[in-house]
């Protein structure tokens, strides 16, 4: 079996996500860390769900739990990647850091970002359908940074709230589709440089290993060794997420299919639009781990 494993970022978390997930030790530790008895009920509160510390802690732990429950039933993936905070789970799945370490790093990452955001308030705006010259002009006028690049005409801009409102007004007037993301930090922009530096200090004491599986990074193409992994995991907080390049790196491995672990199907939809000949599915589509394993096995060489 040759498949790619990709881990979602935050923004699409919902109470019914991962309906097949068992309440194992990782999930129980997450509930303790967050101080909630029922994480699904907690997610029903939009304000709680959108809280940066809650979202990063919950999504990392659930992704690790989901892959931990699924991995015994399938072969090892050929390549792994994570979208934004999804890199914590991806680095663990690739063998770079232990799953317990990845789960413990999520709230520390969120805390570093929240502390930086308190001094540099901001957010993110998804913009679709704006040609590159118009996008360059939009950034020049508003001063916003390119936070995420999903494709030539599908990006996420980050920066102060007033600039985001200005950009949304301009881009919408030019026919683009704009959506303010439910995050309260300007992730993956220079406004998060302090957070990246603080998280780098945290990672300095964390044991890292070279990846056992091909690992595509948001900030540094393919990760080849422990040093590069440590640097990239911190740097991506303040750098553009080049997801279009991650997808290209995955496709070049000639995988037979792609599995998204996390909430929703956002990465799956992006993949299927770009690479329709390589099917992708999201774990949220299935009702059991056995059904996911069966789908992957159906694409065996």
Q: What is the pLDDT of residue 251?
A: 96
- Stated pTM of the model: 0.95
Q: Are residues 244 and 270 in the same domain?
A: yes
Q: Are residues 86 and 175 in the same domain?
A: no
Q: Are residues 194 and 284 in the same domain?
A: yes
CATH number at residue 152: 3.30.70.250
Q: Are residues 75 and 37 in the same domain?
A: yes
Q: How is residue 247 written in tokens?
A: 């997808």
Q: Hunting for tokens 């990246």 — which residue is that?
A: 196
Angstrom distances, CA of residue 216 to CA of 75, 91, 109, 228, 279? 19, 9, 20, 12, 19
CATH number at residue 238: 3.40.366.10
Q: In what order do the strands lie in the sheet with 154-159?
A: 145-151, 154-159, 123-128, 177-180
Q: Are residues 69 and 212 in the same domain?
A: yes
CB-based burial of residue 10 (10 Å sphere; 0-12 exposed, 13-18 middle, 19+ buried)? buried
Q: What is the pLDDT of residue 1?
A: 53
Number of folded domains that form the chain: 2
Residue 296 neighbours by CB under 8 Å, 6+ apart: 1, 3, 74, 257, 259
How far is Cα 79 from Cα 216, in angstroms, rounded to an integer? 7
Q: Are residues 211 and 260 in the same domain?
A: yes
What is the full per-residue pLDDT of the chain (301 aa) written as tens digits?
A: 599 999 999 989 999 999 999 999 999 999 999 999 999 999 999 999 999 999 999 999 999 999 999 999 999 999 999 999 999 999 999 999 999 999 999 999 999 999 999 999 999 999 999 999 999 999 999 999 999 999 989 999 999 999 999 999 999 999 999 999 988 899 999 999 999 999 999 999 999 999 999 999 998 788 999 999 999 999 999 999 999 999 999 999 999 999 999 999 999 999 999 999 999 999 999 999 999 999 999 987 5
Q: Are residues 126 and 172 in the same domain?
A: yes
Q: What is the pLDDT of residue 301?
A: 55
Q: Are residues 201 and 254 in the same domain?
A: yes
Domain termination site, one of 180, 201, 229: 180
HEC string for the chain: CCEEEEECCCCCCCCCCCCCCCCCHHHHHHHHHHCCCCHHHHHCCHHHHHCHHHHHHHHHHHHHHHHHHHHHHCCCCCEEEECCCHHHHHHHHCCCCCHHHHHHHHHHHHHHHHHHHHHCCCEEEEEECCCHHHHHHHHHHHCCEEEEEEECCEEEEEECHHHHHHHHHHHHHCCCEEEECCCCCCCCCHHHHHHHHHHHHHHCCCCCCCCCCEEECCCCCEECCHHHHHHHHHHCCCCCECHHHHHHHHHCCCCCEEEEECCCCHHHHHHHHHCCCCCEEEHHHCCCHHHHHHHHHCCCC
Q: What is the pLDDT of residue 54?
A: 97
Q: What is the pLDDT of residue 3?
A: 97
Q: How is residue 278 written in tokens?
A: 């390589």
Domain termination site, one of 180, 198, 214: 180
Decide: 184 and 81 in contact? Cβ < 8 Å: no
Domain hosting residue 172, numbered range: 122-180
Domain termination site, one of 180, 198, 223: 180
Q: What is the pLDDT of residue 296?
A: 95
Q: Are residues 27 and 103 in the same domain?
A: yes
Q: Strand pairing of 222-223 and 214-216?
A: antiparallel
Q: Are residues 23 and 170 in the same domain?
A: no
Q: Are residues 81 and 145 in the same domain?
A: no
Q: Are residues 151 and 288 in the same domain?
A: no
């Amino acid at each position: 079996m040759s498949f790619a494993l990709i881990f979602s970022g935050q923004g699409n978390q919902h109470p019914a996500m991962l309906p097949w997930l068992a309440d194992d030790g990782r999930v129980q530790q997450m509930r303790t860390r967050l101080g909630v008895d029922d994480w699904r009920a907690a997610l029903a509160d939009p304000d709680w769900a959108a809280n940066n510390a809650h979202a990063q802690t919950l999504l990392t732990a659930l992704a690790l739990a989901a892959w931990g429950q699924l991995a015994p039933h399938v072969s090892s993936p050929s390549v792994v990647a994570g979208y934004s905070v999804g890199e914590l789970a991806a680095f663990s799945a690739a063998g770079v850091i232990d799953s317990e370490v990845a789960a413990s790093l999520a709230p520390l990452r969120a805390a570093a970002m929240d502390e930086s955001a308190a001094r540099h308030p901001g957010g993110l705006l998804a913009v679709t359908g704006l040609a590159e010259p118009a996008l360059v002009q939009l950034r020049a006028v508003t001063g916003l940074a390119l936070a995420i690049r999903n494709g030539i005409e599908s990006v996420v801009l980050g920066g102060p709230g007033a600039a985001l409102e200005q950009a949304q007004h301009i881009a919408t007037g030019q026919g683009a589709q704009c959506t303010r993301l439910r995050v309260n930090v300007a992730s993956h922009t220079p406004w998060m440089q302090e957070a990246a530096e603080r998280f780098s200090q945290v990672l300095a004491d964390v044991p890292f290993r070279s990846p056992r599986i091909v690992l595509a990074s948001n900030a540094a193409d393919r990760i080849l060794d422990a040093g590069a992994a440590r640097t990239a995991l911190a740097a991506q907080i303040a750098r553009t997420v080049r997801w279009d390049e991650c997808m290209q790196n995955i496709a070049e491995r000639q995988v037979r299919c792609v599995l998204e672990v996390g909430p929703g199907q956002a990465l799956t939809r992006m993949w299927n639009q770009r690479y329709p000949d390589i099917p992708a599915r999201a774990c949220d589509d299935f009702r059991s781990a056995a059904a996911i394993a069966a789908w992957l096995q159906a694409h065996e060489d």
